[in-house]
Amino acid sequence: MSPTKIRNNVIKLSELSTKKPNYYFIQGYLMGLGALPLMLTPSEWQPDLFGDINLQKESELKYLESLMALYNQSMDKVIQNELKMPAKCSLSKQDYRDSLKPNMPLPSYCKGVLQALKHINKRALNALQKQAVDSLSGVLKAFTSEKAAAKVFGEFAQYNAQEYKRNYVYYMADAIFELRFSNDLTLSDEDEAQFNNSFLDEESNELDELDELLELVLADTELKALEPMQMLLEMMEGHITKQFIKDNTGHFWGLHETRPYMMLRAHRAKIHALHGYTQKAQSELEELLKLNPNDNQGNRFLLMNCLIINKEWDKLDALLVKSDSEELHATASRALSAFVKHGDSKPANDYKKKLQQQNKHFSKILTGQEKLKVQQPPYFSPGSKEEVGVYLDSLGKQAWISVPASLFWLRKK
């Protein structure tokens, strides 16, 4: 069934209902269902979305079929981490308020997601889950009306509205992960059998094959890599016990047998971060720095940006005290921290000036005035474009986007 046919049939179904939600409200509601920790049956969510539906002809049953097709598409998007709002849910570049008038696509979509999230029993959530839901709800509520937006965006409202809109996918991804997948990273019996067979067929080749799998996993940044990674870590934890960790915390990287373990955990943090699960990444990276305070892996760089995105400013400042003042990541993080605390001020502008002195490409690349090569080399020299590329690879751009008006300030002379 074509997308146009599905859309037309779902609209007709809505017209036959008592609540008559518009199409974008329906799309938002279905996407919101995908974030719920427990899946609802159609008999549970259809009355909430439509009220009573008066189907008078057998031919109208196709409208319900189209609704379920749209529902299945939404669930597929959740699984595949394709969380962008529909193209029509855009913000006017001239005046964001034009996009927030009643029944416009954007507020309708956000109201739909919020309606679906009401099915969540917050009393059953843990602290991380509650935080993820609250953060997502805060972004959605800001786009439900002009009045709601005015309370949130304040000064630089047009710019802030655009930044909030870009951040939506990160908050949505974080909520979906915490609510649905954070405790469900186990392998299926079939996957486990396949894994075991690949390593146990020939004992003499076991270590070689383990190294090959390790190399493959570390080269993969998709969520699917979490499954074999989890199994590898569980195998290693047969030797790296809690007592071993307790006895060797502080110099883990110096032990040859722990390096694959540290590499896997750092890569797991990177995957979480790249897919928007920055709270998960932050927790992992903080633990890795306890195991190896010297941070031979450079985990502090990604952690800085996760702390910024998660608005953990006190933790960021504590981390920066221990960091080299000449590192580009540290200077950028100090600049953002100063901007959040003091706004467009001398302390913040001093760091902005230092950023320009350390790397003349930094502000131009961050604000889109210069471009990077698609394929980055595996090395860089201080002050080069490649150095900025390394910063961006550790969620640098996302960190600036998460701070309202920061990119506007960075570009300001």
In CATH, what number is assigned to the domain containing residue 64? 1.20.120
Assess whether 65 and 155 both reside in one domain: yes
Query: Is the same domain home to 28 and 173?
Result: yes
Tell me: do 103 and 39 sit in the same domain.
Answer: yes
- Point out the domain boundary residue: 280, 297, 314: 297
Residue at 313 is within a domain = no
What confidence tier does 160 reach under pLDDT thresholds 50, 70, 90? confident
Number of domains in the chain: 3
State which residues form the domain around 212.
Answer: 185-297
User: Is the model's pLDDT at 187 over the cut of 50?
Assistant: no
Residue 304 lies in a domain: no
Residues 239 and 355 grouped into a single domain? no
User: DSSP assignment, residue 311?
Assistant: T
Which of these three, 179, 195, 211, is where a domain ends? 179
For residues 337, 339, 342 and 348, what is the CA-based torsion angle, rounded to 10 degrees? 100
Both 168 and 200 in a single domain? no
228, part of any domain: yes
Q: Rounded to two decimals, what is the model's pTM?
A: 0.53
pLDDT in tens, 196-247: 554 444 443 444 556 667 778 888 888 888 888 888 888 888 788 888 888 8
Q: 307 vs 16, 109, 126, 146, 186, CA distance in Å? A: 48, 29, 20, 30, 28
**Residue 278 and residue 329 in one domain:** no
Residue ending a domain, choose from 147, 179, 211: 179
CA distance 253 to 359: 30
Residue 168 sits in the same domain as residue 197: no
Mean of the per-residue pLDDT values for the chain? 86
182: confidence class by pLDDT, cuts 50, 70, 90: low
**Separation between Cα atoms, residue 324 and residue 347, nearest integer Å:** 18
pLDDT of residue 199: 40
Do residue 36 and residue 140 come from a single domain? Answer: yes
129 shares a domain with 63: yes
